[in-house]
Structure 1
């Protein structure tokens, strides 16, 4: 209409109309240019994974475990007949309940190949965590999976590793919508779940404990499910549920402190906010830990099925180790519910996936949030968020996002329906994508380090040497950052952690040249002091040069 009016004005000799038209066209061109210049790129890694991934985890072999739920009939991924499961309670299966389809798979993002895995009990809304030896421990679920533990000892895609259902021990409480966190001694604490305001441990060397905080945090819409649990560098737990948080001594079972309430509505399931702990830094002796909680729904949205109610626009940030820590609230560029927060090798946080209205739950969200956002914690308040290139694929309820060793972020899942449904609004999504942050752009290649030598295993407090090659001479210190491989589900990455290492100045091993010969450097690193700072297990070690990371080298941190 505005363009038509401008042309009419020009036709009648109106100069103002000419100026208006030029300005309008310039504005449209600028908007188009800005859209094209948003940082980051997308690619489809797999056109059809044949299952939707409700839970996703990256193994030390660089393979990715995709895990859905059982009890939804047959998937599109076939199993060998020798590995079929029997589920008479699944009404979508043939009489007798024989299911020869897979509900889990192992993906190699590099070759883009897939191998089916066999899971026997229901993993619907379950929890998980990697153990110190690299085994993925998977806990709980629904129905026959409510008290089950499962283990997956990873291998390369060509191997034969598969899920192992543990007959013993069983969980002391049924765990549906619980959260797992590895502890400094390598054991795992399993926190909460529906109708389970308690904590228990694996191995079960400590008894089941009541956890009244989750009972008191619960309201009519159960916003205490999938609590946000972070291990602080003093060995205690920061636990967030609904809009409240506490400091919990996991050894004594005492609530040491209650933090101020975070304004802005509920944040946990089914309100679908997300959380991460910012990097731990040797500059302050690993004594300071900041937690960020972003997004969520308004009170009553899930209960009253208000699918079009705008989601929360705020992030809260608190120094959980500061005795006087209080929430600082920031505004995101978009409202977001069901978003995932992924720690990047640079120490920045990618906020990705989700919707701009509604809540978690089947068909409870609307208006997909297609633009990822970069949160830059070291920037001044008000300048921390950067809008990134949008995807074309909505990622609604039951989506996941995981950092890969090559620095990309793998995005999978999205099934906001009780069963698989491939028609209508937000159909079940079987495509797997990868988002490449700006640091992987071609114009950053001259800064990208390549790790040439690094240890496979280090002990706490160890000093060790790494060697890298870089196309251009170094300017300043490089960083070495350890990132865990978390278990991503329901908008929270259980066990996600980044620990910066103390690094000595680099020593030149070989000068590069104009013929393309890279520069070679050697430098010393110091491992974290203990398991409170970095629990034992496998980490992706990234070398970062001027905010451009290498491909990760997997290193095992040993007790």
Structure 2
């Protein structure tokens, strides 16, 4: 009766023996699992590598409504070098916001959660969008959260957030004066439960407590109040995380609330911000894109362009932005799904054709293949819109340097149809891909305990050691300065193959050590200047300069929902050698090498990388 257990134990023991052999590690690499003390475990929804080498792991409320209602928001700062960690005060719910590195090494975090979704049947109070209007040109008005709007039948609805309505716009003079009312929307909820508060027609509402002229000039308009499903809602808040003080610092709010936005750094150091669900749960329609200027910490309007949520948008050498088609979950299936090049200068969009399985780009992975000079973007896997059970093994590659860019087929993913795959650029000019599931959020036990390495030079995958922990929705992976890869998060819908037990959030961290770190001594960087200008030549110290085969600057990752538009590997020219170092020349194009902090890696002929040293690239 004990035979199966004995055989299972023996099989596991033999497996551990095999994967820990030196020959195995040298070919496939090696995994280790890190379990943090209970007080420091967080739901890793976002992960960003800082110029200090530490990883900022942001949970916010962590997809846990109990934490949201309690105002319990978490961030963890983890130092992989010494395996130390500390909790960071988190001033707002950054859950499902967006983020990117800034030129000075700070991390911009924008958006997050104002309100959790409520599914059909769970909505007890009728609710909807109230358009608050101001017909007075004299001044703007701000109304606090909880402001009550009263319908003609006396039913009352309260705002769930504060709202500021600009002053009306006055044009002309004398008898030709025209006043155009201003308008701002806010979500409202009935003060009582039940169907008596449901409305299905457009109506005007007075603001409780206003009298006389104010009551005439300020009022609400709404099309309907319903008990239908309510989507997540975003916030306008934005912060910079300071890696020196290790604290969040609030900056100017965005003009528009965002939940699931993408932030992409530009060659001039500014950041373009697109998409997301607003503060009423509606997907932004594309005329609300914004650009953040880190010099004065303010936002300005960006050109109009609609995208689904968390679109993968990469900066190209021309300064145009390439949308690969990858996205993460909200928006209609027939809008904004086509890949293409977006020119911010004239707001034109050039479609890039040829992507196979174009309806299966949701929860797919996209990566700017190394070196960035090649200007090739790869799309890997993906699934159908929403809770679709469909997934694809497709990989396709777009050569953006071509006169007429188009996708061409890459090799199929070895594990078959895969959603939520994480892709990480390695210093040896390969791409490590890991995890994912064949089904929506790992349903029916569909996590894929597989990893592989893509080789751009041969356009092929090779097998890597298998991870021990399944990863799907809300998972991340990023390159560490020592050449290893950290893999975090996962938020399966169910914990069993029968889909009967609710899933929990995976809080273990896995670290993958690539095979190249088992090939003997690694190159050594002995001295690096703190900064370098575009187009300049810098001298770096190296223990064995004659063995240095390549040099590259790798931008640190800032990843969420398997979306990482920050990471890129830029090859440097080796223009000289001395007895104790090499001279490296940087490209002069800020769209290829955007300003900011980078990891400098040297590799030998076998692809073994040095420990990275940090260097700031300036214009």
TM range, smaller chain: 0.7 to 0.9
In the other structure, the counterpart of 2:253 is: 170
Q: How far apart are residue 527 of structure 1 and its match? A: 1.4
The structure-2 alpha-carbon separation of the partners of 1:106 and 1:202, relative to structure 1 and needing over 3 Å to count, comes to same
Q: Which of 399, 402, 407 pairs up with 1:319?
A: 399
Alignment partner, residue 76 of structure 1 = none
Residues 1:329 and 2:409 aligned together: yes
TM-score (norm 2): 0.69
Instruction: Check conservation: 1:484, 1:495, Cα contact below 8 A.
Output: yes
Matched, 1:404 2:461: no
Contact 2:290 2:299 in 1 (8 A): no
CA distance in 2, matches of 1:60, 1:291: 25
What CA distance in whole angstroms lies between the structure 1 residues aligned with 2:253 and 2:321? 24
Distance 1:34 1:137, change over 3 A: closer
Q: Name the stretch that deviates more: 194-203 or 391-400.
A: 194-203
- Counterpart in 2 of 1:78? none
In structure 2, what is the Cα distance between the partners aligned to 1:200 and 1:417?
A: 33
- Residue 47 of structure 2 is matched in structure 1 by 56
Provide, for residues 342-398 of structure 1, a one-character-per-residue CA deviation record: whole Å limited to 9, x for no partner: 11111111111211223x5xx65741111111000011x4xx101211111111211
Q: Which residue of the partner structure matches residue 238 of structure 1? A: 322
**Alpha-carbon separation, structure 2, partners of 1:102 and 1:192:** 23
Give the Cα separation in 2 of the matches to 1:539 and 1:424: 43
Change (3 A) 1:92 1:245: closer
Tell me which residue corresponds to 1:445.
520
Partner of 1:457: 531
SS in 2 for 1:461: coil
TM-score of the pair, normalised by structure 1: 0.76
CA deviation digits over 1:53-109, x for unaligned, max 9?
100011111111010132756xxxxxxxxxxxxxxxx6568xxx655x551110111
How many Å separate the matches in 2 of 1:227 and 1:53?
20
In structure 2, the CA distance between the partners of 1:454 and 1:267, relative to structure 1 (3 Å rule), is: farther
CA distance in 1, matches of 2:301, 2:494: 35
Which residue of the other structure, out of 413, 422, 429, is the alignment partner of 1:340? 422
Match of 1:266 in 2: 359
Distance 1:312 1:71 in 2: 28
Q: Pick one of 296, 300, 311 that aligns with 2:382.
A: 296
Partner-residue secondary structure (3-state), 1:209: coil
The SS at the match of 1:407 is coil
Where in structure 1 are there 5+ consecutive unaligned residues? 1-28, 74-89, 215-223, 510-520
- Asked whether 1:276 is paired with 2:247, we answer no
CA distance in 2, matches of 1:92, 1:413: 17
Q: Residue in 2 aligned with 1:548?
A: 608
Residue pair 1:244, 1:261 contacting (<8 A) in 2 also:
no
The answer to whether the 8 A contact 1:53-1:412 is kept is yes
Residues 271-304 of structure 1: per-residue CA shift (max 9 Å, x gap): 31010111246xxxx4x4111000101x35x34x
Distance 1:266 1:140 in 2: 28
Measured after TM superposition, the shift of residue 165 of structure 1 is 3.1
User: What is the distance in 1 between the residues matched to 2:589 and 2:552?
Assistant: 16
Instruction: Report whether the alignment pairs 1:140 with 2:111.
Output: yes
Inter-CA distance 205–424: structure 2 relative to 1 (3 Å threshold): closer
The aligned runs of 1:370-385 (5 Å cut-off) are: 370-379=449-458, 381=459, 384-385=460-461
Q: In 2, are the aligned partners of 1:35 and 1:389 still within 8 Å (CA)?
A: no
How many residues align? The count is 453
**CA distance in 2: counterparts of 1:129 and 1:412, whole angstroms:** 18
State the partner residue of 1:11: none
Which deviations, in whole Å up to 9, do the C-alpha atoms of 1:301-335 show, x marking residues without a partner? x34x53xx4x2101010101212332111211112
2:565 to 494, 498, 504: 494
Structure number, greater radius of gyration: 2
The equivalent of 1:47 in structure 2 is 36
RMSD: 2.7
Q: Unaligned 5+ residue runs, structure 2?
A: 1-13, 116-233, 278-282, 327-336
Mark the CA change 1:387 to 1:71 in structure 2 (over 3 Å): closer, same or farther: closer
1:40-119 paired onto structure 2 within 5 Å? 40-48=29-37, 49-70=40-61, 99=71, 103-119=74-90
> C-alpha separation between the residues in 1 aligned to 2:589 and 2:531?
15
Contact 2:48 2:57 in 1 (8 A): yes
Asked if 1:129 is matched to 2:100, the reply is yes
- Which 10-residue stretch deviates more, 312-321 or 169-178? 169-178
Residue 513 of structure 1: aligned partner: none
- In the alignment, the residues of structure 2 paired with residue 150 and residue 260 of structure 1 have an alpha-carbon distance, to the nearest angstrom, of 37
2:128 aligns with: none
